Amino acid sequence: MNFQNTPEFAQQLDDQDSLKHLRDEFIIPQHRGKDAIYLCGNSLGLQPKAAADSIAAQMQNWASKGVEGWFDGGDPWLAYQQQLKGTLGGLLGAGEKEITIMNSLTVNLHLLMVSFYQPNNKRYKILMEAGAFPSDQYAIESQVRFHGFEPDDAIIEIFPREGEYTLRTEDIIKTINDNASELALVLFAGINYYTGQFFDMPAITKAAHAVGVYAGFDLAHAAGNVPLQLHNWDVDFACWCSYKYMNSGPGGISGIFVHEKHFGNNKLNRFAGWWGNNKATQFKMAKGFDPEPGADGWQVSTAPILLMAAHKAALGVFGKSAGIDRLREKSLLLTPYLEFLINGINERKGGELFRIITPAEASARGCQLSIICKQNGKAMFNYLSEHGVIGDWREPDVIRLSPVPLYNTFMDVYRTGKLLSEAADQLF
Ligand SMILES: *Cc1c(COP(=O)(O)O)cnc(C)c1O
């Protein structure tokens, strides 16, 4: 599309946007009495208007039924998560039996490594992207140590080439092949939180499988952001959080994917709990864990219904969007529009004040742009904040901005570009 740097153009795109009604499903934070420009959905998605009522309904269930709420009424808690799986499966490209909703993300990463990282003396290494989210790094280090290995030896991190910011798929595949005989697991983000790079998940999975290794993904920044096909890509396992692009509330509930082909695999260890037991016999309280078939067999603890109620409301908004593919179409205009405006500032100023390190190809990114400010980065960021743009700042010099198709407008993006342009005039 031929973008234009005018408010009329942005307004026209908003008028033509067939998803524009979805913004009204969210509560927009306020800045000096007006809607803030919220570009931080990569960190915490906005609150759906329906969330409070959804939680209140379960509070009411609890009030009126007490313990009977587990079994009783239109929404028995025992089966509560089952009603969320259809929409979630659509976002992830997963069958309902392949997903289960539970715990928090890092906890789930640990539980999945218990199953899928079973090193021996020959094959014990984990391959991951360098600069992964710290929680993932800590989880992986501690898993490696738990098995008696040293992180420096057992973790292979892939770095970008000299002078580059993101990884080339060919380099990832080569590293997998070069380390084939020692690898036990390939564990990547779907989208790296810092650079916004969307990795070629099918290619990574295929390369891992070609050397006989499982491939797993942390989809914290991918779920609800880009269309995924976990089942068809033959991904072994994945986990995500629901509070970023899935708008399910601070510390909201996480979930896991386990590919159907592993359902009968009893070589996979697991740390079990009663909630993962065969539903038919769970309340017999008998000795001997008998897992529920499917991903639900990885459940550990009693379902946190209030968190799931927020998740249900948030997924309901996705249900109204006619699907992730339609959202992605809008995203593929919103994010390039921001990129166009930023590049325009560089051109106007005759130098690269801003370097966008997120890949330019649509297939290699989602909503987010990560922007290195060559000078005065913090002051730039503060200028945005003072003028009502909520983005996020990463030391030493990166601003991350994520226009989200569910609730951001082209006018949000236009205004952000204008503010960045003003800041550039003041600070350079
Ligand atoms: C946001 C994020 C986390 C956070 O994990 P929690 O357990 O929910 O605190 C972990 N990993 C990645 C890649 C993330 O983006």
pLDDT tens for each residue of 120-150: 999 999 999 999 999 999 999 999 999 999 9
pLDDT value, residue 427: 85
98 ligand 1 Cβ < 6 A:
no
pLDDT value, residue 256: 98
C-alpha span between 139 and 113 (Å, rounded): 9
pLDDT value, residue 266: 85
- Is the pLDDT score of 103 beyond 90? yes
Contact yes or no for 105/239 (Cβ under 8 A)? yes
Check the annotation: does 302 bind a ligand: yes
106 ligand 1 Cβ < 6 A:
yes
pLDDT tier at 320, thresholds 50, 70, 90: confident
Check the annotation: does 296 bind a ligand: no
Q: How far is the CA of 140 from the centre of ligand 1 (A)?
A: 13
CA 105 to ligand 1: nearest atom: 7
- Is the pLDDT score of 182 beyond 90? yes
Check the annotation: does 358 bind a ligand: no
C-beta neighbour count of 290 within 10 angstroms: 15
105 ligand 1 Cβ < 6 A:
yes
Kindly compute the dihedral angle of the four CA atoms of residues 144, 148, 152, 157, in this order, to the nearest 10 degrees: -30
Q: How far is the CA of 419 from the centre of ligand 1 (A)?
A: 30
C-alpha span between 35 and 128 (Å, rounded): 39
C-alpha span between 125 and 154 (Å, rounded): 4
**pLDDT tens digits, 163-178:** 999 999 999 999 999 9
With tokens 């089966």, the residue in question is: 79
DSSP-assigned beta bridge partners for residue 218: 189, 239
11 ligand 1 Cβ < 6 A:
no
CATH number of 7-35+324-427: 3.90.1150.10
CA 43 to ligand 1: nearest atom: 1
Kindly compute the dihedral angle of the four CA atoms of residues 42, 43, 45, 47, in this order, to the nearest 10 degrees: -170
- Top mutation candidate among 42, 102, 106 for ligand 1, by most atoms within 8 Å of CB: 106
pLDDT value, residue 87: 96
245 ligand 1 Cβ < 6 A:
no
Taking CA 71 as the corner, what is the angle to CA 65 and CA 75, rounded to the nearest 5 degrees? 80
- Is the pLDDT score of 73 beyond 90? no
Element (DSSP H or E) covering residue 46: none
pLDDT value, residue 308: 98
Q: Which segments of the chain belong to CATH 3.40.640.10? A: 54-319
Q: What is the mean pLDDT of residues 16-26?
A: 97
| Radius of gyration of the chain from its Cα atoms, rounded to whole angstroms | 22
Nearest CA to ligand 1 atom 14: 220
pLDDT value, residue 74: 79
pLDDT tier at 280, thresholds 50, 70, 90: confident
Average pLDDT value for the chain: 96
**pLDDT tens digits, 385-399:** 999 999 999 999 999
Q: How far is the CA of 187 from the centre of ligand 1 (A)?
A: 14
Check the annotation: does 243 bind a ligand: yes
Check the annotation: does 254 bind a ligand: no
Element (DSSP H or E) covering residue 128: strand 125-129
Query: What type of residue sits at position 104?
Result: S
C-beta neighbour count of 149 within 10 angstroms: 19
Nearest CA to ligand 1 atom 2: 220
Phi-psi region of 197 (alpha: psi -120 to 50; beta: other; left: phi over 0): beta
Contact yes or no for 10/410 (Cβ under 8 A)? yes
pLDDT value, residue 315: 97
CA 132 to ligand 1: nearest atom: 13
**415 or 280, greater pLDDT:** 415
C-alpha span between 164 and 235 (Å, rounded): 27
Q: Which segments of the chain belong to CATH 3.90.1150.10? A: 7-35+324-427
Task: Mark 322-349 as b/e (b = at least 16 C-beta within 10 Å).
Answer: eebeebbebbbbbbbbbbbbbbbbbeee
C-alpha span between 10 and 156 (Å, rounded): 45
C-alpha span between 416 and 420 (Å, rounded): 6
Distance of CA 150 to the CA centre of its chain: 29
Q: How far is the CA of 238 from the centre of ligand 1 (A)?
A: 13
Domain 54-319 has CATH 3.40.640.10: yes
**279 or 227, greater pLDDT:** 227
221 ligand 1 Cβ < 6 A:
yes
* Strands 392-394 and 398-401, sheet pairing: antiparallel
C-beta neighbour count of 19 within 10 angstroms: 16
pLDDT tier at 66, thresholds 50, 70, 90: very high
pLDDT value, residue 385: 97
